[in-house]
Amino acid sequence: MDAEALGPERAALQRARLHLRGGRRRLRQGKTSAGVAALSDALTFAMEWYCSSFKWRSPLKGAREKFLDDSSLYAALVGAGVLNGTFDFDRFASLVDQALESELPVTAANGILEGVESVFTQLGVLPFDEGELPPEDSGTF
């Protein structure tokens, strides 16, 4: 992906979708920690895309600059009524921390993908046509 050619807004959206696809695949393969880490990246890029997207700028103008961590940005999106707040972001953040330290059991991520996909839908990142993404490299982790 050439982020410079895409520009910051389109690059964030593309990364969110690519990391979501990668996270789904890794979870299906039983690579729970890698899947959770990929979903974390996907969520970060999805929120960044939303805040930088032209059609959404006014309610959260400069949100990323004001909220330097994902937790506070997520809370701001809930506070602005963009997200409904049903996703347990604190549980997710704790799971991400655990995933970065060791391999998680498959059951540790129960419900996480559905929660992340719900946030993606509320942000307008989902649905999308996976055919628009570059092909996956089956040789990657």
The CATH number linked to 73 is 1.20.120
- pLDDT band of 72, cuts 50, 70, 90: confident
Q: Assess if residue 131 is contained within a domain.
A: no
Q: To the nearest whole number, what is the mean pLDDT of the chain?
A: 85
Burial (CB < 10 A; 0-12, 13-18, 19+), residue 109, is buried
Residue 58: how many other CB atoms lie within 10 Å? 7
**pLDDT per residue as tens digits for the range 88-123:** 999 999 999 999 999 999 899 899 999 999 999 999
Q: Assess if residue 137 is contained within a domain.
A: no
Q: Assess if residue 139 is contained within a domain.
A: no
Domain count, the chain: 1
Q: What pLDDT is recorded for position 54?
A: 60
Residue 108 is classified by DSSP as G
Q: Assess if residue 140 is contained within a domain.
A: no
| Across 51-65, 74-88, 91-105, least confident range | 51-65
Q: Quote the domain boundaries for residue 21.
A: 3-126
Q: What pLDDT is recorded for position 71?
A: 92
CB-based contacts of 20: which residues, under 8 Å, 6+ apart?
Answer: 38, 39, 42, 46, 116, 117, 120, 125, 126
Q: What pLDDT is recorded for position 32?
A: 96
**pLDDT per residue as tens digits for the range 15-51:** 999 999 999 999 999 999 999 999 999 999 999 898 8
